[in-house]
């Protein structure tokens, strides 16, 4: 207890001697306040987790935050720190002070940490804010530091149905507040927690889901109505179980319905149409369940991943999240890995702020093979932190990494930024570690491979029936994938001509098919003529694609008056076009 007393005295002296606003100590830690829910009804629980990044030797701490006392009620008993120790909690007016210290000669905590979780109950409808004001940290050597923080978590509180009252006399009836048809908040009876709250499962009630989907479809005139399902808590293992037959029946009312699952780890948008695309054979029984899992990857997988990317000069800046969709019946479970031509979005959180999205990307990771590949991802800044929207047509294990790549022979080149941006995202490779060779010409197989990588498509194992593409060729899987998704056609007689140099018009045809794949449309131009003097040299099969690409601003002429459709494309031109396409369909910033 002597060390505890010394620590508390140190805090008191520190806060007395040094004026508020002064930051002491070295290092660059940062702190955030994050809510487990974005929306809740009156009477619902709200958990605010205080997180610290770049923390070193944390033995004790004090956090100070303010909250909307009109709409939130602090719950001292349900508020806890991240480690065992001596705890002091004060709640005065709209300010909470939470202090915790270890006891004895123990080492401090380091890394990116969840420091403590403070519990509140929603008591009045409206928008409520919880603001982290200050964090005081003390090391195991009793070295203190005060950090002024300005980070806020916002919660929308929806009204519950009012009580009409009791007793005699004149009572003015109140109109019951109608529930938000786009929001499903599981009741306590629908939530199952394990491992001290680390694992959270929401077993969705059949009758509530039927009513909610009916209300959603009745209130929405959108082609893609969205039902938001909030999973409470700060679990690192999250699951939602939904009755499959109810979901299939809802598709009859609206085939575009989307379920958006909100968890502590981020969000996941699931179009219900994938239930039709997944090739169901009708063998599932009436009690079958759809399970959506959003889990933090195992520590061993994160460690394995971190070691592999460190050798390449990369850095992971997010949790590694494992997404799964499972169909479960009485006697079997079937995981849906691939969603066909449907691109599904997920939102992940980044540790801190990504200043340059061109030097960061989402990646998909296979812990069995150790392979890592680019995944389409868009970075946005929200409430002082970076969110990453991942767009891909498969489930897997994902993480966000930072990477910076440059080439000696691209310095001052007109395509330098586009080439180095795509190389940093691992979409294109150099001809060596330090050279790109921008004027080298591109083959049909090489450009097909670039498109497949840029779209983040899962690759096939075979060449998809082309007689001149052997399975042993490096490009076999990419060409096969491009053919499967309709990005490429053969040249006749079952051949692809993989080593033939690609012309500018062939490149445009492939890229416009990629645009159509992502947008779910065909590349039909309003005009079949491009505004160039040599437009008659464009082949008949390419005219619509070229005109559409020019109209969208995705391609330009070789000169101001000529398109040069039969000219061979270079590696620099290919990189520029790939980047424009990915930006046009919102797959990268």
Strand partners, 200: 193, 238
At 171 the pLDDT is 45
Among the listed residues 33, 323, 44, 388, the one whose alpha carbon sits nearest the alpha carbon of residue 183: 44
Q: Which long-range contacts (CB under 8 A, 24 or more apart) does 424-433 make?
A: 424/358, 424/359, 424/360, 424/361, 425/358, 425/361, 425/374, 425/588, 426/361, 426/363, 426/372, 426/373, 426/374, 426/453, 427/374, 427/453, 427/454, 427/578, 428/453, 428/575, 428/578
Q: Greater confidence, 205 or 180?
A: 205
**Residue 555: Cβ within 10 Å count:** 24
At 528 the pLDDT is 59
The pLDDT tens digits for 306-336 are 999 998 999 999 999 999 999 998 878 889 9
At 396 the pLDDT is 92
Instruction: Report whether pLDDT(127) > 90.
Output: no
Q: What does pTM read for this prediction?
A: 0.70
- The phi, psi pair for 512, rounded to 5°, reads -70, -25
Of the listed ranges 199-203, 281-285, 368-372, the one predicted with least confidence: 281-285
At 161 the pLDDT is 46
| Plot region of 514 (φ>0 → left; ψ -120 to 50 → alpha; else → beta) | alpha
Alpha-carbon gap, residue 19 to 29, rounded angstroms: 20
At 181 the pLDDT is 87
Lookup: tokens for 369: 């093979």
Strand partners, 441: 570
The pLDDT tens digits for 189-230 are 999 988 877 899 999 999 999 999 999 988 877 778 899 999
At 314 the pLDDT is 94
Q: How confident is the model at residue 141 (pLDDT cuts 50, 70, 90)?
A: confident
CA distances from 258 to 24, 227, 263 (A): 49, 6, 16
Among the listed residues 230, 205, 259, the one whose alpha carbon sits nearest the alpha carbon of residue 46: 230
Lookup: tokens for 130: 């919880």
At 462 the pLDDT is 65
At 397 the pLDDT is 95
Q: How confident is the model at residue 61 (pLDDT cuts 50, 70, 90)?
A: very high
User: b or e along 340-363 (b: 16 or more beta carbons within 10 Å of the residue's beta carbon)?
Assistant: eeebbbbbbbbbbebeebbbbbbb
**Residue 484: Cβ within 10 Å count:** 18
Domains, the chain, in order of start with CATH, read 2-158 (2.60.40.680), 183-402 (no CATH), 408-584 (no CATH)
Task: Count each helix (H run) and each strand (E run) in the chain, helices first.
Answer: 11, 27
The pLDDT tens digits for 523-581 are 555 555 667 888 888 899 999 999 889 888 888 888 888 888 899 999 999 999 999 99
């Amino acid at each position: 207890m002597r060390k505890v007393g010394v620590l508390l005295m140190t805090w008191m002296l520190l806060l007395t001697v040094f004026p508020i606003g002064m930051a002491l100590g070295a290092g660059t830690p940062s702190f955030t306040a994050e809510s487990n829910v974005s929306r809740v009804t009156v009477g619902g629980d709200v958990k605010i987790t205080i997180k610290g990044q770049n923390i070193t030797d944390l033995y004790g701490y004090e956090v100070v935050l303010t909250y909307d006392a009109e709409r939130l009620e602090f719950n001292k008993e349900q508020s806890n720190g991240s480690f065992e120790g001596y705890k002091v909690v004060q709640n005065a007016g709209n300010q909470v002070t939470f202090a915790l210290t270890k006891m004895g000669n123990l080492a401090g905590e380091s890394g990116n940490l969840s420091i403590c979780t403070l519990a509140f109950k929603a008591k009045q409808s409206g928008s409520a804010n919880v603001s982290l004001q200050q964090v005081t940290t003390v090391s195991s050597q009793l070295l203190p530091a005060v950090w002024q923080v300005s980070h806020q978590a916002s919660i929308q509180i929806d009204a519950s149905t009012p009580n009409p009252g009791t007793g005699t006399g004149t009572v003015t009836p109140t109109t019951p507040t109608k529930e938000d048809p786009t929001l499903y908040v599981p009741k306590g009876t629908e939530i199952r927690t394990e491992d001290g709250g680390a694992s959270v499962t929401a077993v969705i009630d059949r009758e509530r889901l039927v009513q909610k989907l009916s209300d959603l479809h009745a209130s929405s005139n959108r082609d893609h109505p969205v039902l938001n399902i909030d999973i409470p808590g700060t679990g690192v293992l999250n699951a939602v179980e939904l009755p499959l037959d109810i979901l299939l029946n809802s598709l009859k009312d609206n085939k575009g319905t989307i379920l958006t699952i909100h968890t502590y780890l981020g969000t996941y948008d699931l179009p219900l149409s994938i239930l039709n695309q997944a090739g169901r054979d009708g063998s599932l029984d009436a009690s079958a369940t759809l399970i959506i899992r959003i889990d933090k990857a195992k520590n061993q997988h994160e460690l394995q991943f971190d070691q592999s990317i460190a050798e390449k000069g990369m850095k992971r800046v997010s949790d590694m999240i494992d997404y799964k969709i499972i169909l479960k019946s009485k006697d079997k479970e079937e995981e849906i890995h691939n969603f066909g031509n449907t691109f599904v979005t997920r939102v992940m959180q980044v540790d801190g702020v990504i200043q340059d999205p061109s030097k960061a990307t989402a990646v998909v990771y296979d812990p069995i093979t150790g392979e890592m590949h680019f995944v389409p991802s868009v970075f946005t800044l929200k409430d002082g932190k970076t969110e990453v929207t991942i767009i891909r047509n498969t489930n897997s294990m994902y993480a966000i990494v930072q990477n910076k790549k440059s080439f000696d022979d691209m310095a001052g080149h007109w395509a330098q930024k586009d080439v180095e941006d795509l190389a940093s995202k691992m979409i294109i490779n150099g001809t060596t570690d330090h050279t790109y060779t921008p004027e080298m010409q591109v083959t049909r197989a090489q450009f097909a491979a670039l498109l497949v990588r840029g779209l983040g498509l899962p690759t096939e194992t075979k060449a998809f029936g082309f007689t001149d593409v052997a399975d042993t060729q490096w490009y076999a899987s990419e060409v096969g994938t491009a053919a499967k998704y309709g990005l490429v056609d053969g040249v006749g007689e079952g051949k692809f001509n993989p080593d033939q140099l690609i012309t500018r018009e062939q490149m445009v045809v492939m890229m416009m098919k990629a645009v159509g794949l992502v947008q779910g449309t065909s590349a039909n131009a309003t005009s079949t003529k491009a505004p160039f003097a040599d437009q008659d040299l464009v082949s008949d099969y390419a005219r619509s694609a070229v005109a559409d690409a020019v109209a969208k601003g995705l391609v330009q002429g070789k000169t101001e008056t000529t398109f040069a459709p039969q000219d061979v494309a270079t590696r620099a031109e290919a990189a520029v076009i790939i980047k424009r396409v990915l930006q046009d369909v919102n797959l990268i910033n």
